[in-house]
A and B are shown apart, each in its own frame.
Chain A
């Protein structure tokens, strides 16, 4: 029973990792930029949700605005931080990205206070439902549902719509795609818009799940998401999804069975090292 419960808990957290990591891997696939500031967008989503929900009493409005604001923030980061640097070697935008992430963290601290903020009203987080004897709270269920809906929606968009096919073509061969009339700049905007919206929603959900939104909440997730996209085979969306779920489950078991040896947060990296030794191309190979 405990064994199954641990797997379920791990999968729930894996869904959160997936929402966070997909944007990262898409950006990497398209631009070869390690978008560290993505974790800042994650925290931004959480802050918008908590501040709006506490001010208006409406969680739905908080989430809607979290989605919109993080999507816009992601696009702005691309437009003003990365686009001017696209001609430089990849480490240049990466350094900018790290700097931006630090600025965002300190910005949250200055604007919203050094102590974190809790939701005034968070009914979901203490309401649980037992599914086959396993307790899940409503936020965890919401996490799973939103990640499945959003990611499946994205999958359909990428494989069925003209814009989606254009995006995939741009990743594979930008020149060829351009000559077929796909606008690569528009593709980039769409990627940042979608990836950042996902990260913002993930942040808002984690804020609800912890009932605490803090300036540094992006830190740990950013490192894990980096491990995940490497595991997934940089730029490979399916590999990233798989790696997210696997890491969630491995961490969950590790917390109980390996905790005497390793910190839970070290388990992810240990797993990363082992996989890279055996399969340097990532779980499913490069995208």
Chain B
């Protein structure tokens, strides 16, 4: 326990030291912000480690355009009012050529506006709020938006469990609502019946009343939209209450903590938009998982993979642009085709920087996520325009 604290202090010291010693030499600076303190610090820590692995591996191979890259990292505490000055600092003081957000929607949304005004390419690794990209053409997103994710889930359920009666359990925040909306839009057309939708808050850990009611509904499939820390207790309580129906869950169930919390009850849970930990492609996935575990002390979290791939993609765009001119980097990013992200193969970006990527469906088996199927449907997963 203590070790991680000392480790963090050392890492912070080291970060400071490298920052100071390399200030003079020519480096390509890329901004990065994530919550390193406060309630969202867990994902922030994983995100930052993911981004740092990308930086280190790029630099080991000689960097880009003959220069090393430097990540300028700030703690945004998951607060929009912190993200704005950070964005200004990255642009004005640090002179970054591009920036990556390893943070949630609220700070990312706030910072996106600043980068838009300044004309610096900005990449949201996993923030899902639609407004992040809708403000202009300088922001890009590395994950599929909530709407298409929900539609993908409907497609998956209707294919695997045709004509199923579904009980929906939705987290009542932006993330949950947007996925639920997408699901509800297409579920009836796919032949699914939604019996009832239950909602719960981010802080919810006890689902007794909802479970009692779901039991009375007796659905064929339970579709749960929420984060792993809600999902773990939820899945365990559903199974303990004797509900044996298949559980299909949304992307944010993808955390190794799910299995730690729910134990055996997590087995068989499907995650739409999850990440198959056993996949052999792209070739850097398995080495990444090993390196992440070495640095973090725990298994790879999807947000870390998102941030790793985001930094890789931004650097790839710099290479393709052949320049550190932000405008050229933006154009190169926008022109990205078939880039191998760890979470799946990025197809293209639409006009406002929304990603098209096939959705992987994973299933929990023996304490890890393994691939179940891939939804690659250009119509339902098409990123929404402005």
Contact in complex: A211, B240 (CB < 8 Å)? no
Encode contact with A along B3-19: 1 for CB under 8 Å, 0 otherwise. Answer: 01100100000000000
Q: Is residue A137 within 8 Å, beta carbon to beta carbon, of the partner chain?
A: yes
CB distance from A111 to the nearest CB of B (A): 6
**B319 CB contacts on chain A under 8 angstroms:** none
Contact in complex: A216, B39 (CB < 8 Å)? yes
Stretch at the interface among B154-162, B261-269, B377-385: B261-269
Interchain pairs with CB closer than 8 A, number: 114
Contact in complex: A135, B261 (CB < 8 Å)? no
Contact in complex: A219, B203 (CB < 8 Å)? yes
Which residue in B1, B198, B205 is a CB contact (below 8 Å) of A111?
B1
Q: Is residue B281 within 8 Å, beta carbon to beta carbon, of the partner chain?
A: no
In the complex, A6 Cα to B207 Cα: how many Å? 11
In the complex, A260 Cα to B200 Cα: how many Å? 10
State which residues 1-39 of B face A: CB under 8 Å. Answer: 1-2, 4-5, 8, 37, 39
Which residue in B199, B212, B242 is a CB contact (below 8 Å) of A2?
B212
Contact in complex: B209, A128 (CB < 8 Å)? no
State which residues 346-363 of B face A: CB under 8 Å. Answer: none
Contact in complex: B45, A126 (CB < 8 Å)? no
Prevailing SS type, chain B contact patch:
helix
Contact in complex: A210, B233 (CB < 8 Å)? yes
Contact in complex: A13, B206 (CB < 8 Å)? yes
Q: Is residue B241 within 8 Å, beta carbon to beta carbon, of the partner chain?
A: yes
CB distance from B6 to the nearest CB of A (A): 11
Contact in complex: A256, B210 (CB < 8 Å)? yes
Looking at chain A, what size class is its interface with the partner chain? 35 or more
Contact in complex: A109, B41 (CB < 8 Å)? yes
Prevailing SS type, chain A contact patch:
helix
**A135 CB contacts on chain B under 8 angstroms:** 240-242
Q: Is residue B42 within 8 Å, beta carbon to beta carbon, of the partner chain?
A: yes
Which residue in A13, A109, A263 is a CB contact (below 8 Å) of B208?
A13
B side interface size, CB within 8 A:
42
Nearest-neighbor residue (CB-CB) of A249 within chain B: B209
In the complex, A128 Cα to B8 Cα: how many Å? 41
Q: Is residue B201 within 8 Å, beta carbon to beta carbon, of the partner chain?
A: yes
Encode contact with A along B167-194: 1 for CB under 8 Å, 0 otherwise. Answer: 0000010000000000000000000000
Which residue in A113, A125, A265 is a CB contact (below 8 Å) of B240?
A125
In the complex, A125 Cα to B229 Cα: how many Å? 16
Q: Is residue B345 within 8 Å, beta carbon to beta carbon, of the partner chain?
A: no
CB distance from B135 to the nearest CB of A (A): 29
Contact in complex: A210, B209 (CB < 8 Å)? no
CB distance from A287 to the nearest CB of B (A): 29
**B45 CB contacts on chain A under 8 angstroms:** 114
Contact in complex: A6, B209 (CB < 8 Å)? yes
Q: Is residue B213 within 8 Å, beta carbon to beta carbon, of the partner chain?
A: yes
State which residues 251-286 of B face A: CB under 8 Å. Answer: 257, 260-265
State which residues 54-73 of A face B: CB under 8 Å. Answer: none
Given A212-B205, A263-B199, 10 more contacts at CB 8 Å?
A10-B209, A115-B298, A126-B240, A126-B263, A211-B262, A219-B203, A255-B198, A256-B213, A264-B201, A264-B204
| Those 3 A-B pairs whose CB atoms lie nearest each other, nearest first | A9-B208, A114-B42, A114-B41
Chain A residues engaging chain B, CB cutoff 8 angstroms: 1-2, 5-6, 9-10, 12-13, 51, 106, 109-116, 118, 122, 125-128, 135, 137, 206, 209-212, 214-216, 219-220, 251-253, 255-256, 259-260, 263-265
24 contacts between A and B (CB under 8 A): A2-B212, A10-B209, A12-B208, A109-B41, A114-B42, A115-B298, A116-B42, A122-B263, A126-B239, A126-B264, A135-B241, A209-B205, A209-B233, A210-B206, A210-B233, A211-B232, A212-B233, A212-B257, A215-B39, A251-B209, A255-B200, A259-B200, A264-B200, A264-B201
